Structures are given as C-alpha cells and as structure tokens.
Amino acid sequence: MRSAVMDEKKAAILQEIPRLRRYARALLRDRDSADDLVQDSLERALVRMDNWRTGESPRRWLFTIMHHLFIDQMRKVSRRGEASILSLDATEALATPATQTESVASREIVDALQQISPDRRAALVMVAIEGFSYAEAATMLGVPAGTLMSRIARGREELRGLLDDQARRRAIRIVEK
C-alpha cells in the first residue's frame, strides 16, 4: 500500500509525535525511556495502520496504543524486578544538563508523579496535562467513566500528599542545618 493515502496517514502521525513525547515524558520521566516508548508505539502503529479509520484523528488511536505498551512495560518491570535498572536510568538522567536546570520544585513534582501508581498517573496526565475529556480518556484507557474519575481524584490526592511530604522533609532538612 504505497499510496497517497499512506503518505497522508504518515504525515498525520508525524504531527502527533510532540504530543506523544510529552505524554510519555510525564509517564516515565527519563527522556530516553520516554522516547523508547514513543518509538515502540509508532512502530506498532505502522504495522496496524489498517485499524485506523480514515478521517479519524490519529491522536486517540496513537495514545491508546501507547497506553497499552506503557501498562505492559510497567507489568514487566514489576514481574522481572527490573525496577532497579529503570530507576538507575532515572538517576543518571538527573546528571544530564537538561535536567540539571530543573528547579527543586519542578523536580519534586516529577518525583511525586512517578510515585503515583501507573494507572492513576496515566489517567491524571491524560486529563490534566493532555487536556482530554473524561469520555475520551476513559475510552483510551479502556475503563468505565466512573473508574476514570476515581483514578483522577485519587491521583490528585496522592500527588498532593507526596508534595506535602517532600515540602515537610525539606523544611526538616533546613532546620537540621
């Protein structure tokens, strides 16, 4: 199928890459792991091009693919106990110039986001950062609207608690000095 339709589809997919990268970065933090996830998603999308109906925005289709890969990856990580390898990558990423410029506050938010369970993180990021509606997010995540809502509510509560803990710890450190 080397046709004009194919080229059009590819062009539409290319346009979505910045959005996909942002979603992946919020899910995984480390830039290279995030881009790996995007690359996996794009490769899978290309082999399944037929599943994408013409005329439909590729955004939701691509986000759905990425979400499945993300959840698979999270399961594998916990099953194989490779969390240490992944967290090592994340630690190393802190040494790169790009992340060095992160302020303490933004690093704390990123850290807190990473500690939220993957399901809640995905729901929160889709709605709060990517701006999808509840209906869209529920479809992409493959859960009922009620489940999505409670994931968002719990995710926000959890995030707030983690940020408060960090702030408290920071205050204690300052006092100790």
Partner 1 sequence: MTARSFTDRDIHLALDGELPEDERAAYQMWLEANPDMKAKSLRFAADNAALRNLFAGVLEEPVPSRLVTAVNGDGPRRKQATPWWRMAAAAALLIAGGVGGYLAGMSGIGMGADSDDRMAQLAIAAHQTFAADKNRPVEVDGSDQAYLTGWLSKRTGLTLVAPDLTKNGFTLLGGRLVPANGSTAALMLYADAEGNRISVYVVAEGTERSKGTFTLASGGPEAVYWQDEGYGCAIVGTLPPEQMGVVAKDAYKQLIAGAGLARS
Binders of partner 1 among residues 127 to 146 (CB under 8 A) are: 127-129, 133-134
Question: Does residue 83 touch partner 1 according to CB under 8 A?
Answer: no
Phi and psi dihedrals of 105, rounded to 5?
-60, -45
For the bound state, the minimum distance from the C-beta of residue 32 to partner 1, rounded and expressed in Å, comes to 7
Question: Does residue 77 touch partner 1 according to CB under 8 A?
Answer: no
Among 21, 68, 114, 136, binds partner 1 (CB under 8 A): 21
Among 60, 109, 136, 147, binds partner 1 (CB under 8 A): 109
- Both tokens of 96, joined, read 């790169």
Question: Does residue 113 touch partner 1 according to CB under 8 A?
Answer: yes
# of chain residues touching partner 1 (CB under 8 A): 40
Map tokens 């959890």 to a residue.
158
Question: Does residue 42 touch partner 1 according to CB under 8 A?
Answer: yes
Neighbours of 9 (CB within 10 A): 18
DSSP string, 73-126: HHHHHHHHTTHHHHHHHHHHHTTSHHHHTS-HHHHHHHHHHHHS-HHHHHHHII
Pick between residue 29 and residue 177 the one whose CB is nearest to partner 1.
29
Pick between residue 60 and residue 176 the one whose CB is nearest to partner 1.
60
